[in-house]
Chain A
């Protein structure tokens, strides 16, 4: 009996010791660390033109956001009103919209550093990685990234700047566009117009 218990305990300890190792390479914290490093690398490269810088930051965004999940979250209950092709179209347009939003946040970059403050396990498995900008005009601004694991990868599902969640903000906006008798196609049309305008800019 004792032996069994000991073996069980030993097994648990062994598993516990393995888990952080397995996660260490690409845990939520590491994902944010490497993303921040990549973005700062682009911003500090003075050889890049505005267009090239935008292009590279968009590429970084495409690799770090979980677009299908974020799309469902921002549409919330309205997701049910979208049929399969409309959902595909929405994810596509929203992906671009979010990447534009993300890259636009670095246009005023003035040498700020990013400090990793730590992470916080959320009740149902997500992890929030907390960061803070230091230096420049935006000294002390808090930026939290919420990540979710899927297929063994941690991807960002929300960015929270000074307590303002991008998911919540877009959710309210989409809800407003979809109210008053407007349907999925109206929203998609509006997003296409906006994206075409931003693409030209």
Chain B
């Protein structure tokens, strides 16, 4: 961050960071998460479980006592079209991250589509409030971020890591998140956008609450449906990110390793064994 300042860009370091976060957050998953996992393994490597569970507990109390009540109130008071418009706006703002990462993953068609999407949504979509690219041009979004790019190039996910406030990630995912933060900051300062720190902060907070307003019910439902919520979130996060790195796997089908999940007779292949098991 200090490097940007020395080169004379127009934003202070904290403002850069906040602007970048603002741009980054919509890319994160449904629960405001970011990071990624090795494509071929659903085994969870969680050597820091003790620490992670403590942070998870902290995040949970923050979510239950602050984020979810506020998001719920937002959900009830703000009409759907306004919340969706706001979500669209922030997703559109994060287009540079998707352009960069589709490029880094050698997906030229996706890159072109992201550039086209950004052009159309920023203009005809009134600054991104309306997602005309998806609904009018039938150009799908490509949710590529730096964590996925690292996974694409075979960088291992490393240990599962619970980040305070942000939520589940991995070591690779955290590096990816930092990469996206820098991407957002550099793009916007390069085109000379200057936003006061407090405004960036407020926008980021608003974006976060607005994003949560779509999922607060889901979070609560998953909490109630689980026997061990920490494990449920960890598993869901790993599966979600793995699926994203494979770009949905809808056409390709799941990896061979996944098949073992469905055959208990496969013995060894049927999930990691417990130490207590005979």
Residues of A within 8 A of B (CB): 72-73, 75-81, 97, 100-101, 104-105, 107-108, 117, 120, 122-124, 126, 128, 130, 137, 142, 146, 148, 157-158, 162-165, 167-169, 171-179, 181, 190-191, 194, 198
A70 to B: closest C-beta gap in Å: 10
7 interchain pairs (CB within 8 A)? A76-B264, A101-B225, A124-B262, A130-B250, A142-B250, A172-B232, A173-B228
Find the B residue at minimum CB distance from A146: B262
B1 part of interface (Cβ distance < 8 Å): no
Most chain B beta-carbon contacts within 10 A, residue among A104, A164, A177: A164
Instruction: Please provide the chain B residues from 224 to 278 with a CB less than 8 Å away from any CB of chain A in the complex.
Output: 224-228, 231-232, 234-236, 239-240, 242-244, 246, 248-250, 253, 256, 259, 261-264, 270-278
Give chain A residues whose Cβ lies under 8 Å from the Cβ of B13. none
Query: What 6 new A-B contacts, CB under 8 Å, besides A130-B250, A176-B228, A178-B276?
Result: A77-B271, A108-B217, A163-B243, A168-B239, A173-B226, A194-B227
Determine which of A128, A137, A177 lies in contact with B80 in the assembled complex, contact meaning CB atoms within 8 Å: A137
Q: Which of B44, B240, B246, B264 contacts A164 (CB 8 A)?
A: B240
A169 x B250 contact (CB < 8 A): no
Chain A residues positioned under 8 Å from B272 (CB to CB): 175
Contact A173:B235 (CB < 8 A) given known A78-B277, A178-B274: yes
Tell me, in angstroms, the Cα distance from A148 to B265 when the chains sit together.
15
Closest to A167 in B: B261
Closest chain B residue, CB of each to CB of A174: B227
In Å, the complex CA distance between A167 and B270 comes to 12
Total interface residues on B, CB under 8 Å, equals 44
Interfacial chain A residues near B243, Cβ < 8 Å: 162-164
Contact A78 B274 (CB under 8 A): yes
Q: Does B214 contact A (CB under 8 A)?
A: yes
Closest to B277 in A: A77
Check if B186 is an interface residue, CB within 8 A of chain A: no
Q: Say yes or no: A173 contacts B270, CB within 8 Å.
A: no
Contacts of B225 in A (CB 8 A): 97, 100-101, 104
Q: Is A76 touching B270 in the complex (CB atoms < 8 A)? A: yes
The contact of A179 among B42, B259, B274, by CB within 8 Å, is: B274
For the complex, give the distance between the alpha carbons of A163 and B250 in Å.
9
Of B226, B256, B275, B278, the residue contacting A81 (CB under 8 A) is B278
For residue B6, CB closer than 8 A to chain A, the reply is no
